[in-house]
Amino acid sequence: MKILVDREKCRGSGECEKICPQDAIAIVNGVAVIDAAKCDFDGICIPACPHGAISFLEEEKDAGGV
């Protein structure tokens, strides 16, 4: 599991940075950057983003499976 920031959608408003309990998000050059070492994947930042820029990225477990 990963948390992904869509750089096209992110406006750097910092709502995610404020809400993250792990202090895992920083706004760098106007885009949210998530520190994977701090993130505990609780998903709190996903609905916090007014631009819908943050989402879970499910890692492909089994290429070719259905």
5, 24, 49, 53: which one binds ligand SF4 (CB under 6 A): 24
13-18 own/partner pairs: CB under 8 Å, 24+ apart? 13/49, 13/50, 13/51, 15/48, 15/49, 15/50, 16/45, 16/48, 16/49, 16/54, 18/48
**Judged by CB, which is closer to ligand SF4: 59, or 66?**
59
Q: How far is the CB of 14 from ligand SF4 (least distance, A)?
A: 13
Site string for ligand SF4, 29-58 (x = CB under 6 A): -----x----xxxxxxx-------------
